[in-house]
Chains A and B, each alone.
Chain A
Amino acid sequence: MAANESPVAGPAPGWGRRIPRDERVFLWLIAASLVGMTAVVFGWLAWGDQNVPSTYRYMTPTQFSAEVTKFVDRYQAADGLVYVPPGEDAYLAASRYIFYPGLALQANTQYKIWLSATDTLHGFSLVGGGQNINLELAPNHVTGMNLTVGDPGRYLIVCNEYCGLEHHTMKAYLTVVPAATMQQNVAAAGAGEEATPGAAPAGSIEISADPTGALKFDTASLEAAAGTVTIAMKNPSPIPHDVAIKGNGVDVKGKVVLKGGTSTVSADLDPGTYTFYCSVPGHEAAGMKGTLTVS
């Protein structure tokens, strides 16, 4: 080490001479640690257990929603979960404020899961069961993640990228089931399905979700005559929605549908005031609701 110099005045002449030995030794130590860390990173890419996914596809939210809808229609069971048999790819769409659909995977099996966001940036954070896997999801970009699931159980997934005022409500579970449960549900898949959504039943009240992705319906008030009331909601938005009715002891929900689908809900209603709303987390709080007056 050399003598001190003031950092406030200019340096003494000759300051550009060779760096002294102490500092040079320090630089060599830094260089050695850089080489070591780099070797670990590259080595882990070649031989490590867990690496960042490197399979990506470009799909618009509309294209991705169509894929997800096909996948759900094929494997969704009566309990609403989508049971994915080993060897099949799984799909998971992140939208305000829902991961869709609910996935059930077979224990100790490797899956490819295609993940994307359909409206704004979201995060995929699998935190349950001692896991901690975090990915960024963006509209138009689809990530193909190879995931080997562990033992049966329910594993928490949360959104880790701020996506709007109800961000903290965006959570889901990855359900891992034994092989026997998987087989039963795959065999029964489609059996408990209601008719393919798309056409509204005759006599129903037709409404629509906001096509731009704002969290609202195209109307905030509906009127109906007492008796069986059916609301059919078309979903032209990039976000999954359903339509539901509550109030005066009534609480019924339609099926959650992606872009292009129609969610339908029916109830026998006495005269009075009810609320129709979207039951996807955070949507009602964000204003996706209205008043249904039955007379």
Chain B
Amino acid sequence: MAYVEPAPHILAGVREERSRTCGVTGLRIFATPQALTVANAVAAVLALAAGGLFGLLIGLTRAPGLELLGSDWFYAALTGHGVAALILWPIFFEVAAMVFASSILLNARLFSNALGWASFALMVVGAVMLLGIILSGEASVAFTAYPPLVANQVFYLGYLVFAVGALLAVVNFALTVVKARTDGIHEGSLPLLTYGVGVAAILALLSIASGLVALIPAWLYSLGWIGSVEPIVYRGWFWGLGHTLQYVNVVAMVVAWYGIAALAIGAGPVNQKFTRIAFVLYAIISFPVLGHHFLVDPSIGNDVKLVGGTLMGFGLGVPSLMHGIAVMGGVEAKLRREGATGLFGWLKRIRWGHAGIAALTGSLLIFAVGGWSGTAETTLQLNMVTHNTMWVPAHLHQTVVGGMTLAFMGFAYLLVPLLVRRELWSHRLAAWQAWLYVAGMLIMTTAQSWAGALGVPRRTADTSYGGDGLSGWDTPMNIAGIGVGLAALSGALFVVLMVLTLLVGKRTDDPARLSPSAVKA
């Protein structure tokens, strides 16, 4: 390896940034990216707490046996749940992942510490604006905010400020990777995790750009500066944000899968080319697939719906299947090398009581169910049965919650102790938390799919329709409510565990106590 003189840099150079070497991974960690990763992760956990609380409230309102909230509060909570749990929590966590993957994994400084903090500050301000206006009841338009429904303009501004912050984080990520390479700190192909986060960043860029095209006119409309917004066109651009963002989430989830397998078991992908092709497929297919939101919309031909919705939707299953087999195959190969024999001997060697492994297993399982339910509803004809029924929230909770959120939780259990050099407060409780989440999500989403097949609509404050609803609707929605309760309990446990770890976890530098693969569970 040839020695490359580091290029001078405008922001570094004046003052050497403090750094340390991680005792477990051997990575060189600079102070600011470490602080920024933790800050974004903390904001993410707080957003998850808010989103989970809203989720509990709406889940218990949808259960006909409880009907907790009145309709005005229900629609406010519904909006808050979408914003906090589907926008704020994943994006904060993904920005943490971007800082981590570009800087820490490459042993490099950030391109710009100031840009990193500016992005974080904008995102926090945007998040506070969004949640504040939603709680005031002036933005009960659901997180999709389809015009001509109108929210207070602060709602749109909050979205825009948050989006600009996230955009800056993507820029900083890309420039950090480039700088690490031009400085000669990193050579050759990128590590798989950084590569994956890079694909997520590209999708985030497309997603945010599309979101600006949707939300700026909606904001102007809310001010009365423009007379109308064509709802179908808005839906197109909005889902350019909304669904592409879900693939930012999916890619980040897959990165978390590889991360957990590596940290907890020491397993890597069995074939780098195979996994990288799968990542590239996400980058290609994720944006056009938004067509599946229009399968039963008027004025769009079946040809467009079939190609942009159904076939692209089928195609999008391919990379997920590839990653699923690559992660599981990697774990199997590693355990076989450690001496597992027979067809299923490797399964007996898995430490099911380990929090990371519980989260990885649950995430793989529930995401697979979500892939199946999504493939069903992206089928042109079946979409007539499932469109805007409870089948849809079932699908998106299988993917975004049972898949992504659970994977992020598992990754956080492994990563946060390494970053803050404190022991996880309780490994045993963390494993229980993950399994409880799996149970809650499986119960909830299975019951929701059942309800959706019976035609129960999503996003309505009154499942019983004042007594006019069908008699078969009550049972699955009540069961879903039980699942919501379990998942919320488990989610609260996660937040408590994270807070306790950050505040009172035992300080240590001992690799044997910090290493996720060494801890006893």
Contacts and interface: CB of A to CB of B under 8 A. Distances in A.
Contacts of B142: 162
B296 to A, nearest CB: 5
Contacts of A48: 381
Contacts of A128: 470
A195 interface: no
B236 to A, nearest CB: 12
Interface string A1-20: 11111111111110111011
Nearest to A164: B149
A213 B337 CA distance: 69
Given A125-B388, A138-B232, 8 more contacts: A1-B329, A7-B191, A19-B277, A23-B274, A48-B381, A54-B301, A121-B235, A134-B389
A163 B272 CA distance: 48
Contacts of A161: 146, 388, 459
A163 B302 CA distance: 26
A141 B232 contact: yes
Nearest to A161: B388
A1 B297 contact: no
B487 to A, nearest CB: 23
Q: Which 5 A-B pairs have the closest CB atoms?
A: A127-B455, A141-B298, A7-B192, A160-B388, A168-B462
Nearest to A31: B318
A131 B295 CA distance: 19
Given A7-B262, A45-B380, A2 B271 contact: yes
Nearest to A127: B455
Contacts of B16: none
A52 B149 contact: no
Nearest to B78: A162
Contact of B379 (A13, A27, A41, A140): A41
B302 A52 contact: yes
A210 B472 CA distance: 40
Interface residues of B, number: 90
B230 interface: yes
Nearest to A168: B462
Interface in B326-372: 326, 329-330, 333-334, 337
Contacts of B273: 15-17, 19
Given A134-B389, A163-B149, A156 B299 contact: no
B388 A22 contact: no
Interface in A89-148: 116, 119-121, 123, 125, 127-128, 131-143
Nearest to B458: A160
A160 B146 contact: no
Nearest to A37: B314
Contacts of B141: 162
B175 to A, nearest CB: 20
B146 A120 contact: yes
Interface string A147-173: 000000000101111111111110100
B189 A15 contact: yes
Interface in B223-250: 230-232, 235
B258 A7 contact: yes
A196 interface: no
A7 B189 contact: no
Contacts of A160: 387-389, 457-458
A159 B334 CA distance: 52
B384 interface: yes
B268 A6 contact: yes
Contact of B455 (A125, A159, A163): A125
Interface in B185-235: 186, 188-193, 230-232, 235
Contacts of A52: 295-296, 302, 305, 380-381, 383-384
Interface in B264-322: 266-274, 277, 294-299, 301-302, 305-306, 310-311, 314-315, 317-318, 321-322
Given A52-B384, A120-B148, A136-B296, A8 B193 contact: yes
B385 interface: yes
A85 B281 CA distance: 53
B3 interface: no
Nearest to B261: A7
Interface string A34-54: 100110011011001011101
Nearest to B74: A168
9 contacts: A23-B270, A23-B322, A27-B322, A30-B318, A125-B455, A138-B232, A162-B142, A168-B71, A168-B465
Contacts of B466: 169
Contacts of B306: 41-42, 45
A236 to B, nearest CB: 17
A124 to B, nearest CB: 9
Contacts of B188: 10, 13
B157 interface: no
A4 B334 contact: yes
A45 B305 CA distance: 12
A158 B465 CA distance: 9
B508 to A, nearest CB: 21
B314 A137 contact: no
B40 interface: no
Contacts of A138: 231-232, 297-299
Contacts of A168: 71, 460-462, 465
A50 B333 contact: no
B75 interface: yes
B142 to A, nearest CB: 5
Contact of A165 (B75, B105, B315): B75
B470 A133 contact: no
A8 to B, nearest CB: 6
Given A34-B314, A134-B385, A10 B190 contact: yes
Contacts of B317: 30
B298 A143 contact: yes
A41 B380 contact: yes
A7 B269 contact: yes
Given A52-B305, A119-B148, A162-B75, A58 B388 contact: no
A19 B271 contact: yes
Given A1-B270, A127-B470, A158 B457 contact: yes
Interface string B137-148: 000111010111
A202 to B, nearest CB: 38
Given A10-B189, A52-B302, A166-B71, A4 B333 contact: yes
B478 interface: no
B454 interface: yes
A295 B261 CA distance: 81
Nearest to A1: B270
A58 B299 contact: yes
Interface string B459-480: 1111001101110000000000
A165 B380 contact: no
A11 B270 CA distance: 11
Contact of B389 (A3, A11, A132, A171): A132
B493 interface: no
A20 B271 contact: yes
Contacts of B262: 6-8
Contact of B314 (A4, A38, A121, A156): A38
Nearest to A27: B322
A140 B75 CA distance: 26
Interface in B371-400: 375, 379-381, 383-389
B39 interface: no
B25 A8 contact: yes
